[in-house]
Amino acid sequence: MKTLFFLMAFPLLPAVLLAAVSAARWRNAIVKMSSVVLAAAAVALGVAHVKGGTSYYAVEGHWVDGALFCGEIGLSLYLLVKGFLSRRYVVPLLVVLQTGLMIYSEFFGGVVSAERDLSVDNLSVIMAMIVGVVGGLISIYSLWYMKDYHAHHPEIPNRTRSFFFVVFVFLAAMFGIVFSNNLRWMYFFWEVTSVCSFWLIGYSQTEEAVQNAFRALKINLLGGLSFALGIVYLAFVHKTVDMSQLLAMGQAAALIPAMFIAFAGLTKSAQMPFSSWLLGAMVAPTPVSALLHSSTMVKAGVYVIIKMAPILQNTAAGFVIALIGGVTFLLASATAVSQNNAKRVLAYSTIANLGLIVACGGVGTFEAVWAAILLVVFHAVAKGLLFLTVGTIEHEIGSRDIEDMHGLITRSPALAIFMLIGIAGMFLAPFGMLISKWVTLKAFIDSNPILAILLAFGSAPTLFFWAKWMGKLLAVPHTPRRTAGQIEPEEWTALLGLAVLTIGACGLFPLIAAEYIEPYTMQLYGHAFSLGYANLAIMGIMLGALILLPLGFFYFPKNLKYEGAYMAGANLPGNLSFQGSLGQPRDMIIRNVYFRAYFNEASLSRLGNWITVLLIVLMFVTAEL
C-alpha cells in the first residue's frame, strides 16, 4: 500500500522541483536521483509481489476523491481555454460533454463509490515495473536529448523546465492508472495522460506540432468520453464504479460498460481508425515518442483491454475487438514497408504491435492474455530502445532517414548494435516478440483461425521492413569512417540499460512468465499456460547460439583475401564507384525498395479506416444484443 502511494505521489515532488529550478546541474541531479528512486521502488514492488495474488486497498477519507474531482475540473478548464483560444471548438465540446457526464453522475448518481480504490495484481506490477524502469531510463536520456535539441533548434522556445514537469506528472499518472481499482480514479489519471501527451506533442509550438497535438487531444478526448459513458452507465445501472466488481458481475451484465471502456482503450492505443494521432505525435521530441507513444502511455490503452479480457472472452463483441486489432496489425505492418522515415516506421510498427495485443485481449482466453502481457513487456523495452537509438542517430548523422543509415555499423558500431538488438528483439527468433507471436498464433487458432490468418499475412511485411532496415545498417562500405559525434554518458546509460533489458527480457522470460503471468491467468481463469520444457530448452539453445555467435565479429580470419565488390569489372579504385559510359566515374548508390505503389500509405489507411469504423459499429451492436 505504501509503495503504491509512494509511486503515485513521489514523481510529483521532482515534477514541482524541476518546474522551479532552472540550473542544469540541479536538474540533472534531480532527474537522475528520482529516476533511480522510481525504478528501484517499482522493482521492489515487483519483487515483493512475486507470485502474489490481487490485493485491494481502501483509501480512508473522501478528501482524495474530492481532490481528484477538483483536479478533473481544473484539467477541463485548461482544455476549454486551450480549445477556445485556438478556435478548435470540438475540444471544448468533448470536454463539456464528458465533464458534464462525470459531474452529473457525481451529484445525481446516488452515493456510488468504490469500496476499494486501489488494487495491485501481477499485471499492474508488470506495468509498474515497465513505467518505473523504462520511464526512468528515458527521463535520464531526455536530459541530454533536450539540451542537444535546443542547441540544434534555436528557433524553438526553451521550455525544458515545463517539459520535465510534465514528464514526471505523466509518470505519476501512469502509476495511477495501473493501480486504480476505482474507475473514477482511473478515468482521472487517464485524462491526465491525455493532457500530458497533448502538451508534449505540441512542445515545439510549430504549426504542425500544434495541429498534431490537437488531433491527438481530440481523439483521446473521444476515448475519454467513452470511458466516462462507461463509468456513468456502470454507476447508474449497477451502482458501482469498482473495477473488480465489474469483472465479477458476469459477462452479460458487464459487457456494455466493458465495451465503452474498451473503446477508450482502442483510441488510446491508436488502433485504426484512430491511428492517425500516433503518427502525428512523432513531431514530439524523440524521448517523448519513446516514453508516451510506444513504451508506456499507449500501453495504458491495451492495459484496460487486457483487464477486460475475461469479460470479452468468447463474446461476439470481443471477437470484433480482436478483429479490429488484427486488421490494424495487418495494415499497419503493410504500411510500414513504404516508409523510409525511421520514426514513422517505428510508429507504424508500434500501431501494429498494439493491434496484436488488442487482438489478444479481444480473444480473451488465458493463452491470449498470457501472450498479450508478454508482448507488452517485450515491446516496451525493445521499442523504447529503438526510439532512443533513432534519436541519438539523428543527432549524430543529422537525419532520421533509413537510407542515410547505410553502413552505420562502420560509422558508429555501438549505435548500430543497439539498433540491431532492438530490431532483433522486435521480430527475430528466439527474441521476445517471436516467442509471444508463437503463443499468440496458438491462442488465435484455438479461438478463431481468421485471426491467425491475419497474423500470418501481417507478419510477412513485418519481416520485410525490419530485415531491410537491418541490412541497411549492416552493409559495410569499403572505406570505414567513424562519425565525429560522441555518445554522452546519459545516452549510454539509457541505451545500454534498455539493450540489457531487451536481451534480459528474452533470457529471463520464462521467469517473468512463471512468476507473474502464470499466477495472473491462474487466478483469473483457473488455467495457466506454460511452455513445454522441451521448447524452453530449444529456445535456450538458440538464444545461446545467438549470443555466442556475435563473438564472430571479433574473429578476423587470416586466410581471407579482400577484393572489391563485383561491378562488372568496371570498378574504380576504392571500389565505391565505377566507370560509367564515356569514361565518366559514377558513384555506387544503393537504395532500398519501398513498394509505394503496392503498400500505399493513403489507400491502406483509407481501407483500414473504413473496415474498422464498420467493425466498431458492429462491436457496439453485438454488445447490445
Partner 1 sequence: MKIFLITLAYLVLAPVLGGLLAGFDRIVTARMQSRVGPPLFQPFYDVLKLMAKENLAVNHFQNFYILCFLVFMIITGALFFAGGDLLLAIFALTLAGIFLVMGAYSANSPYSIIGAERELILMMAYEPMLLIAAIGLYMATGTFIVHDMIAIHRPLIFQLPGIFLGLVYILTIKFRKSPFDLSTSHHGHQEIVKGLTTEFSGPALAMIEVAHWYENILLLGLVYLFFAWYPPAAVAAVILTYFFEIFIDNTYARTKWHYAVKWSWAVAATLGVGNVATLYFLR
Partner 2 sequence: MSFLKKSPWILHYDGTSCNGCDIEVLACLTPMYDVERFGIVNVGNPKHADILLITGSVNEQNTPVVKNLYRQMPEPKAVVAIGICATSGGIFQDCYNVKGGIDKVIPVDVYVPGCAARPEAIIDGVVKALGILEEKAKALKEAAHRQPVEVEESSHD
Q: Is 430 in the site for partner 1 (CB under 8 A)?
A: yes
Residues that contact partner 1, how many (by CB under 8 A): 60
Question: Per-residue DSSP letters for 31-73?
Answer: HHHHHHHHHHHHHHHHHHTTT---EEEPPPSSHHHHHHHHHHH
Closest CA to 201 of 136, 130, 292: 292
Which of partner 2, partner 1, none lies near 407, with the C-beta cut-off 5 to 8 A by kind? Answer: partner 1
Stretch that binds partner 1, among 117-125, 147-155, 207-215, 463-471 (CB under 8 A): 463-471
Q: Show contacts with partner 2 in window 341-380 (CB under 8 A).
A: none
Residue 569 has a CB neighbour count (10 Å cut-off) of 7
Least distance CB 561 / partner 2 (angstroms): 7
Secondary structure of residue 194 in the 3-state scheme: helix
113, 162, 251, 448: which one contacts partner 1 (CB under 8 A)? 448
Kindly list the distances between the CA atom of residue 371 and the CA atoms of 153, 358, 383, 457, 587, in Å, as whole numbers in the listed order: 42, 11, 17, 19, 48
Among partner 2, partner 1, none, partner that 494 touches (CB below 5 to 8 angstroms by kind): none
Among 33, 36, 48, 541, binds partner 1 (CB under 8 A): 541
CB of 526 or CB of 569, closer to partner 2: 569
**Cα 39 to Cα 128: distance, rounded to the nearest angstrom:** 9
Instruction: Identify which of 273, 292, 274, 270 has the alpha carbon closest to the alpha carbon of residue 283.
Output: 292
Look at residues 332, 477, 364 and name the one whose alpha carbon lies nearest to residue 412.
477
Min. distance of Cβ 467 from partner 1 in angstroms? 5
Q: How many residues bind partner 2 (CB under 8 A)?
A: 9
* 321 touches 314 (CB < 8 A): no
Q: Are 183 and 167 in contact (CB under 8 A)?
A: no
Beta carbon nearer to partner 2, 75 or 588: 588
Contact positions with partner 2 (CB under 8 A) in 544-563:
561, 563
End-to-end C-alpha distance for the chain, whole angstroms? 41
**Residue 560: CB minimum distance to partner 1, A:** 5
CB of 449 to partner 1, least distance (A): 5
Q: Which of 342, 324, 170 is nearest to 262 (CA)?
A: 324
Using an 8 Å Cβ cutoff, are 411 and 326 in contact? no
Of positions 85, 252, 484, 560, contacts partner 1 by CB under 8 A: 560
Q: Which is nearer to partner 2, 207 or 563 (CB)?
A: 563
Compute the least distance from the CB of residue 478 to partner 2, in Å: 14
Q: What string marks each residue from 564 to 593 as x (binds partner 2 by CB under 8 A) or -?
A: x-x-xxxx-------x--------------
Question: Rounded to the nearest whole angstrom, what is the least distance from the CB of residue 474 to partner 2 in the complex?
Answer: 20
If you write DSSP's letter for every residue of 82-124 in order, what string do you get? Answer: HHHHTT-THHHHHHHHHHHHHHHHHHHS-S---S--EEE-HHH
In angstroms, what is the minimal distance from the CB of 442 to partner 1? 7
Residue 463 as a binder of partner 1 (CB under 8 A): the answer is yes
555 grid coordinates: 574473429
Indicate which single residue of 71, 92, 477, 510 sits in contact with partner 1 (rule: CB under 8 A).
Answer: 477
Q: How far is the CB of 581 from partner 2 (least distance, A)?
A: 11
Applying CB under 8 A, does 556 fall inside the site for partner 1?
Answer: yes
Please identify, using beta-carbon distances, which residue of 341 and 571 lies nearer to partner 2: 571
Contact pick of 66, 413, 449, 580 for partner 1 (by CB under 8 A) = 449
Which residues on adjacent β-strands are paired with residue 587?
577
Instruction: Rule CB under 8 A: say whether 535 interacts with partner 1.
Output: yes
**CA angle in degrees (0–180, nearest 5) for 294-16-157:** 65
**In this chain, which of 341, 442, 483, 622 binds partner 1, going by CB under 8 A?**
442
Specify the DSSP class assigned to residue 242.
B
Is residue 579 classed as helix, strand or coil in its secondary structure? strand
Angle, CA of 455, 371 and 511, to the nearest 5°:
145
Enumerate binding residues for partner 1 (CB under 8 A).
407, 409, 428-430, 434, 438, 441-442, 445, 448-449, 452-453, 455-457, 459-461, 463-464, 467-468, 470-472, 474-478, 534-535, 538-539, 541-542, 545, 549, 552-553, 555-557, 559-567, 575, 588, 590, 592-593, 598
Contact residues toward partner 2 (CB under 8 A) are 561, 563-564, 566, 568-571, 579
